[in-house]
Chains A and B, each alone.
Chain A
Amino acid sequence: GAVVSQHPSWVICKSGTSVKIECRSLDFQATTMFWYRQFPKQSLMLMATSNEGSKATYEQGVEKDKFLINHASLTLSTLTVTSAHPEDSSFYICSATGTSGRTYNEQFFGPGTRLTVL
């Protein structure tokens, strides 16, 4: 149980276009979802925290107009990279926590999405 999926697993886009990444909790209700970014051979950096039905809380230094996060339901959050540029190329990972049992105190991670901007 407590499975999180991401779609797509990888995407290549042209500079200036927008890309949407989906994060879904498959078997639990995710009241809180987190979006991380991972550079090669580096740590995961938290970008933002989103609670269902509320605006996301962005970490310092993350452009909220560039990285649009929507958490409209208890099983889906989306990250849209707007007007993507090559420096946005990275591995984006989401995680989710729920409201009961094991999901309450633990983050469950998706497999990640590799974004390459040409």
Chain B
Amino acid sequence: GNSVTQMEGPVTLSEEAFLTINCTYTATGYPSLFWYVQYPGEGLQLLLKATKADDKGSNKGFEATYRKETTSFHLEKGSVQVSDSAVYFCALSPQGAQKLVFGQGTRLTINP
């Protein structure tokens, strides 16, 4: 079946630190991969996505590369800000389907 496993949190970093949140997946075929972010009191928002192997999604300084050989889609940011504090969800959409399968979410807190 389809599943997503992401790094357990919570993660606490200082401002300007380097961020990595690991995400690996299990799926048949060629899924699309996503990172969503949920700020306090708000709905999930798409942060970035990649639809095929070796694609790199990027947005707001965040990046993730679709690695089929390691079935991974790790989220990175070179220098985090306090405003990046949120819960981050890795997700996949099975090939040919619209539905999303989510990881368990990682709560990120950035201290000034």
Contacts and interface: CB of A to CB of B under 8 A. Distances in A.
Contacts of B98: 32, 34, 49, 97, 107
Interface stretch (B37-45, B61-69, B76-84): B37-45
Interface string A35-53: 0100001111110010000
- The B interface, classified by DSSP as helix, strand, loop or mixed, is loop
Nearest to B6: A43
B104 A110 contact: no
Contacts of B4: 43
- The A interface, classified by DSSP as helix, strand, loop or mixed, is strand
Given A41-B105, A93-B44, A95-B44, 11 more contacts: A41-B104, A42-B105, A43-B104, A44-B44, A44-B102, A45-B102, A46-B100, A46-B101, A111-B41, A111-B43, A112-B43
Chain B interface residue bracket vs A? 10 to 19
Nearest to B3: A43
Contacts of A111: 41-43
A49 B99 contact: yes
A111 B44 CA distance: 7
Contact of B99 (A43, A46, A93, A110): A46
B25 interface: no
A4 B103 CA distance: 22
A110 B105 contact: no
Contacts of B101: 46
